[in-house]
Structure formats: structure tokens, C-alpha cells
Amino acid sequence: MRTLAIGSDHAGFNLKQALAEHLRARLGDDAVLDMGPPSAARVDYPDYAAKVADAVLAGTVDGGVLICGTGIGISIAANKRAGIRAALCHDVTTARMARAHNDAQIVALGSRVVGEQVARDLVDAFLETAFEGGRHADRITKIHTLEPGA
Ligand code: RB5
């Protein structure tokens, strides 16, 4: 992945800022689209999950990073968009497998669960790992047949 959108709620705001800086240093300033929020004032995580998911679906970016307190609410919300695979990851192994086997476009994490260094490492693993395809691709297709109207 070369370009990413990043978003959070208030609980994830500080980690979002830190990860955006990390990702810009790694990928370039123009490669990271900060979808907000602009401050740590209280917001609702579904709003930011939708912004990042929609940027991915529109092809504006290759993938996304979403952060709330646990990563749970914001990943559940992103996965309500048809075609989105948002994976809640709390370590490098799950981040790597989310790409290799699940072709996740979005990694979600919990700012109250992982520290900044773990968050950087897992986002790096997510960026660097390619989807393995093959039998995993057939399963991805089946996932999306579960969507309403599919
Ligand atoms: C906000 O307090 C918290 O509920 C939210 O960040 C997230 O953890 C929800 O899943």
C-alpha cells in the first residue's frame, strides 16, 4: 500500500496524530490523508469510520487506518460499508495476517490497548504485507456474498 486515509474518534486522536506523522515520514506527505477529527473534542466513531471507508471504496487511497479506544466500534462501523474489510489488530502477527489471508484494506486499532511503538510496528506490517490470493481469494468472495443485497 502506497497511500492511506487515517481517522479516529476522540479516544484515538493522539495516536492518530502520532501515526499520521510516522506514516508521512515513511510514505511521503501527500500519501497520507487525515480524515479527522482535527482535535480531541468528543466525536462519534461511526462518522470517521465512514469517511475512511468511503475514501477506500472510491479509490482515493489504497487503504486506511482507524483508531478508537478499543478499535472495536470503529472496525464494526467500517465493516458496515459493502466491500470493506476492516481488521481489528493489536499486534504485528494479526496485522500481517489481515493482509496475507484477509486482504483487509483497513487496519483498526485501540489506543487504550496498544502503545505507540506497537501501533507503529503493526501499521508497518500491514503496509508491507501482500495478499496471498489463491484459496483466500475465494473466501473473500464468499464474505461479500453475505452482504445485504449481494
Ligand atoms: C469512546 O469512549 C469509546 O467508546 C470508543 O473510543 C471505542 O472504544 C468504541 O468502541
Q: Which residues are catalytic?
A: 68, 101
> Is residue 76 one of the residues assigned to a domain?
yes
Residue 87 phi, psi (nearest 5): -110, 125
Q: Residue 16 has what pLDDT?
A: 98
pLDDT band for position 11 (50/70/90)?
very high
Ligand 1 touching residue 102 (CB < 6 A): no
Calculate Rg over the CA atoms of the chain: 14
Closest CA to 84 of 46, 53, 129: 53
> Is residue 54 one of the residues assigned to a domain?
yes
Average pLDDT over residues 4-19: 98
Q: Residue 118 has what pLDDT?
A: 98
**DSSP secondary structure letters along 65-87:** EEEESSSHHHHHHHTTSTT--EE
Cβ contact 82:146 at 8 Å: no
Mean pLDDT, the chain, whole residue set: 98
Ligand 1 touching residue 73 (CB < 6 A): yes
Average pLDDT over residues 107-128: 98
Q: Whose CA is nearest to atom 10 of ligand 1?
A: 73
Atom of ligand 1 nearest to the CA of 70: 8
DSSP assigned state of 63: E
Domain count, the chain: 1
- Distance from the CA of 90 to the center of ligand 1, in angstroms? 15
> Is residue 106 one of the residues assigned to a domain?
yes
Q: Residue 18 has what pLDDT?
A: 98
CATH number at residue 42: 3.40.1400.10
Cβ contact 109:91 at 8 Å: no
Q: Whose CA is nearest to atom 9 of ligand 1?
A: 73
Q: In this predicted model, what pLDDT tens digit does every residue of 40-85 receive, in sequence order?
A: 999 999 999 999 999 999 999 999 999 999 999 999 999 999 999 9
> Is residue 150 one of the residues assigned to a domain?
no
Instruction: Give exposure, 100-109, as e/b (b: 16+ Cβ within 10 Å).
Output: bbbbbbbbbb
Average pLDDT over residues 91-109: 98
Range of the domain at 42: 4-145
Residue 70 phi, psi (nearest 5): -105, -15
Q: Residue 14 has what pLDDT?
A: 98
**150 or 55, higher pLDDT:** 55
- Distance from the CA of 137 to the center of ligand 1, in angstroms? 32
Q: Is pTM beyond 0.95 here?
A: yes
Q: Residue 88 has what pLDDT?
A: 98
pLDDT band for position 5 (50/70/90)?
very high
